[in-house]
Amino acid sequence: MTARDTDRPRLSRRGFLGAASGVAAAGGSALATGAMAAMPVAQAAPPDAAEPFWGPHQSGIITPAQSHTYFAAFDLIAGKREQVADLLQRWTEAAAQMSAGHPVQSGDSGDLIGLPPSRLTVTFGFGAGLFIKNGVDRYGLAARRPAALVDMPNFPGDQLIEAKSGGDLSVQACADDPQVAFHAVRTLARLAYDVAEMRWLQSGFLGGFGAKETPRNLMGFKDGTNNPRVDDDAAMNAVVWVGEEGPDWMRGGSYVVVRRSRIFLEHWDRMKVAFQEQTVGRQKLSGAPLGKLRENDAPDLAATDADGNPVIPENSHVRLAMAETNDGARILRRAYSYNDGVSYTAERWPPWKQGMEFDAGLVFICYQRDPRSGFIKIFERMAKFDMMNQFVTNTASALFACPGGTARGGFIGQSLFATV
């Protein structure tokens, strides 16, 4: 009932480092303070809060992260472009209704009766297959495919499951309640009957760290510290939103990269904290860059130790991910943790055991103005050199073009279909 429930020494969660793997707590006075992380988690919002659906941008992109996500991809099976446009119109209307906390007009499953809007957002995206698939221009849209909607490369180490990758359309539902988020995907899937079939569905969650703390992912490290700030319009315009360079239907939109990154937690958990920190390039407790005190201190990439070695290792995750080492490339991370149970796994490290291990990790999701100068640019090098790769395997990958938002009465992607 109380914090005095055990005979053991009273360790607060803040004090875990002193007990972990015999590593002394580095920077006990270095608890993160100061600036709020750029992608705040707003789980503490009142549950009756609703996020706006209509507007120049789709919701769910720079919206402070909700606690749960369901990301779904669909394959189009319709023969005619009009059917796709009709679906997008139905989807848009339903998403607006659900975001406001209303049931959909026909056949709502009813499982949300009594639940508030829970900050539901629904974000739609178009995969390459909408424009051309297996060389076939099914909907007369091939000429309208944006150059930025590339075929995603296979990166070194990728072990992609085809059935969990790609897709012609995407729906990301996020909410502060898992049932509200799933209901949105379920409803949209039903509305797609005879037009599009589900291809894959991935759920994700965040711990309730509150609006003032960067959430920790399953590796135990803060995830998203270095994100651009979503309340910085100039940064969002530079990093996230498509501008004049894009087709009209993509202006105010963004490109989303989704990667299912399985983390070998059993392996990671057996590493000493000091080694984990070298891998990440940050302190576990505070989130501060190695050699610094506070989470939001800028990493000093030039700093060296007494032996002349970089304080932040050359192959550490943070160094390889930073804009400074990627010709200024930036992305907006909006990642979730996932847990899909256990699966039989052959370990890749001593003592080379085989057995059931967690199929858990990160649903890495990031938004950017152009994936060629965003995620792909950054990850090409990380895939080769990041020390973290020995603990992570990417098992699925997808890229979708998320059109700009729409005013009430329009639908997502309308100008793409109207102008052909």
Stretch that binds its own copies, among 45-53, 80-88, 135-143, 288-296 (CB under 8 A): 45-53
Closer residue to its own copies (CB): 359 or 370: 359
Q: Which span sits near its own copies by CB under 8 A: 196-204, 293-301, 323-331, 366-374?
A: 196-204
Site string for its own copies, 276-315 (x = CB under 8 A): --------xx------------------------------
Between 311 and 350, how does the x/- string for binding to its own copies read (CB under 8 A)? --------------------------x-xxxx--------
Does position 208 interact with its own copies (CB under 8 A)? The reply is yes
What CA–CA distance (Å, rounded) separates 181 from 47?
13
Interaction between residue 180 and its own copies (CB under 8 A):
yes
- Measured between alpha carbons, how far is 342 from 237 in angstroms, rounded to an integer? 41
Of 20, 4, 33, nearest to 288 by C-alpha is 33
Nearer to its own copies, 333 or 377 (CB): 333
Angular region, 43: left φ>0, alpha ψ -120 to 50, beta rest: alpha
**Is residue 415 within the footprint of its own copies (CB under 8 A)?**
no
The residue within the footprint of its own copies, chosen from 61, 85, 160, 273 (CB under 8 A), is: 273
- Which span (50-58, 150-158, 244-252, 311-319) binds its own copies, by CB under 8 A? 50-58
Contacts of 101 (CB under 8 A, 6+ apart): 48, 50, 116, 117, 120
Instruction: Candidates 10, 234, 308, 309: give the one binding its own copies (CB under 8 A).
Output: 10
Question: Which H or E element spans position 18?
Answer: helix 16-19
Residues 136-155 contacting its own copies, CB under 8 A: none
User: Is 5 near its own copies (CB under 8 A)?
Assistant: yes
Positive or negative: CA dihedral 55, 58, 64, 67? positive
CB of 99 closer than 8 Å to CB of 59: yes
The residues, ordered by sequence, that sit 6+ positions from 193 with a Cβ below 8 Å of its Cβ are none
Residue count, binding to its own copies (CB under 8 A): 98
Find the shortest distance in angstroms from Cβ 112 to its own copies.
Answer: 6
- Residue 355 C-beta: closest distance to its own copies, Å: 5
Binding-residue pattern over the window 82 to 121 for its own copies, x denoting contact by CB under 8 A: -----------x--xx-xxxxxxxxxxxxxxxxx--x---
Q: Is 157 one of the binding residues for its own copies (CB under 8 A)?
A: no
Q: How far is the CB of 306 from its own copies (least distance, A)?
A: 28
Helix then strand then coil, % of the chain, to nearest 5: 25, 20, 55
For the bound state, the minimum distance from the C-beta of residue 139 to its own copies, rounded and expressed in Å, comes to 21
Q: Is 170 in the site for its own copies (CB under 8 A)?
A: no
The verdict on 200 binding its own copies (CB under 8 A) reads: yes
Residues comprising the chain, all counted: 420
Beta strands 169-175 and 336-346 are unpaired
Closest distance of CB 373 from its own copies, Å: 32
Give 146 or 204: the residue with its C-beta nearer to its own copies: 204
User: What span, in angstroms and rounded, lies between the C-alpha atoms of 73 and 165?
Assistant: 8
Q: Please give the residues from 217 up to 246 whose contact with its own copies meets the rule CB under 8 A.
A: 217-221
Identify residue 290 by its one-letter amino acid code.
Answer: L
- Provide long-range contacts, Cβ within 8 A and 24+ apart, for 349-358: 349/267, 349/390, 357/264, 357/265, 357/266, 358/265, 358/266
Q: Distance between CA atoms of 156 and 245, rounded to whole angstroms?
A: 30
- Residue nearer to its own copies on the CB measure, 15 or 157: 15
Closer residue to its own copies (CB): 43 or 368: 43
Should residue 33 be labelled a site residue for its own copies when binding is judged by CB under 8 A? no
Distance between CA 169 and CA 260 in Å, rounded?
17
Judged by beta carbon, residue 278 or residue 368, the one nearer its own copies is 278
DSSP string, 195-210: TEEEEEEEEEE-----
User: What own/partner pairs with CB < 8 Å and gap ≥ 24 does 148-154 have?
Assistant: 148/242, 148/246, 148/255, 148/370, 148/371, 148/372, 148/401, 149/255, 149/399, 149/401, 150/371, 150/372, 150/376, 150/399, 152/257, 152/371, 152/376, 152/397, 152/398, 152/399, 153/376, 153/380
Work out whether 370 is an interface residue with its own copies (CB under 8 A): no
Q: Does 42 bind its own copies (CB under 8 A)?
A: no
Choice between 348 and 353, CB closer to its own copies = 353
